[in-house]
């Protein structure tokens, strides 16, 4: 039985390898970006994966794969819902910053 720490380390290696493989297959992918359906940020296509119709960046793939491996989430939809609060918080902070700028 593997510890959580071992599973996380293993997933980090697997997901990083996906990114390296993508770059080896197509070095131009480094300059290609997309908007991640999970974190909402503009990320590099390398190491991204499409799950259930959602395209996830390499960082979110790591979250998803670790979540699946540890049995914390069962679907990508669940992961997106879990991240949504943080996503909203970032958006809220961004809006606050914009308001400050307008008032000055
Ligand atoms: Zn992402």
For the stretch 53-86, pLDDT in tens is: 999 999 999 989 988 988 888 999 988 887 776 6
Residue 103 counted as domain residue: no
pTM above 0.85, yes or no: no
Domain extent, residue 40, equals 4-98
If you measure from the C-alpha of residue 81 to the centroid of ligand 1, how many angstroms do you get, rounded to a whole number? 13
If you measure from the C-alpha of residue 104 to the centroid of ligand 1, how many angstroms do you get, rounded to a whole number? 33
Residues in the chain: 104
Closest CA to 67 of 1, 14, 4: 4
Residues paired with 55 in a beta bridge? 50
Residue 75 counted as domain residue: yes
Structure tokens at 98: 């914009």
Residue 104 counted as domain residue: no
What is the total count of domains within the chain?
Answer: 1
Q: How does the average pLDDT of the chain come out, rounded? A: 87
């Amino acid at each position: 039985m593997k510890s959580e720490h071992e599973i996380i380390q293993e997933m980090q290696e697997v997901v990083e390898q996906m990114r390296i493989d993508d770059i080896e297959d197509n070095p131009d992918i480094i300059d290609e970006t997309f908007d991640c359906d999970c974190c909402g940020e503009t990320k590099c296509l390398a190491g991204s994966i499409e799950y259930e119709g959602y395209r996830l960046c390499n960082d979110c793939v790591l979250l998803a794969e670790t979540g699946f491996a540890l049995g914390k989430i069962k679907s990508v939809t669940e992961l997106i819902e879990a991240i949504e609060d943080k996503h909203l918080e970032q958006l809220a902070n961004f809006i606050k910053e914009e308001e400050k700028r307008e008032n000055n």
